[in-house]
Amino acid sequence: QKEVEQNSGPLSVPEGAIASLNCTYSDRGSQSFFWYRQYSGKSPELIMFIYSNGDKEDGRFTAQLNKASQYVSLLIRDSQPSDSATYLCAVGLNTGFQKLVFGTGTRLLVSP
Amino acid sequence: GEEVAQTPKHLVRGEGQKAKLYCAPIKGHSYVFWYQQVLKNEFKFLISFQNENVFDETGMPKERFSAKCLPNSPCSLEIQATKLEDSAVYFCASSHPTGSSYNEQFFGPGTRLTVL
User: Could you write out the three-class secondary structure of chain A?
Assistant: CCCEECCCCCEEEECCCCEEEEEEECCCCCCEEEEEEECCCCCCEEEEEECCCEEEEECCEEEEEECCCCEEEEEECCCCHHHCEEEEEEEECCCECCCEEECCCEEEEEEC
Contacts of residue A90, Cβ cutoff 8 Å, sequence gap at least 6: A4, A33, A34, A35, A36, A100, A101, A102, A103, B43
| Sign of the C-alpha dihedral computed for residues B91, A5, A46 and B32 taken in this order | negative
A43·B110 Cβ contact <8 A:
yes
A101·B45 Cβ contact <8 A:
yes
pLDDT surpasses 90 at B96:
no
Chain A nearest-CA distance from B116, in A, is: 20
Partners of residue B97 in chain A, C-beta under 8 Å:
97
Confidence at residue A95, expressed as pLDDT on a 0 to 100 scale? 64
Chain B nearest-CA distance from A46, in A, is: 7
CA distance B50 to A103: 25
Mean pLDDT of chain A: 94
Chain B nearest-CA distance from A40, in A, is: 10
pLDDT surpasses 70 at A72:
yes
pLDDT surpasses 90 at A26:
yes
Partners of residue A93 in chain B, C-beta under 8 Å:
none
Contacts of residue A57, Cβ cutoff 8 Å, sequence gap at least 6: none
Cis? peptide before A10, omega within 30° of 0: yes
**Which among B21, B20, B22, B24 is positioned nearest to B5, based on CA atoms?**
B24
| Sign of the C-alpha dihedral computed for residues A51, A57, A59 and A62 taken in this order | positive
Confidence at residue B100, expressed as pLDDT on a 0 to 100 scale? 58
The arithmetic mean of pLDDT across residues A71-90, rounded, is 97
- Chain A residues with CB-CB distance to B under 8 A? 8, 31-32, 34, 36, 38, 42-46, 49, 51, 86, 88, 90, 92, 95-102, 104-105
**Which among A99, A39, A50 is positioned nearest to B36, based on CA atoms?**
A99
pLDDT surpasses 70 at B104:
yes
Contacts of residue B99, Cβ cutoff 8 Å, sequence gap at least 6: none
As a whole-number percent, the residues of chain B with pLDDT over 70 amount to: 95
CA atoms within 13 A on the CB side of A70: 14
Mean pLDDT of chain B: 92
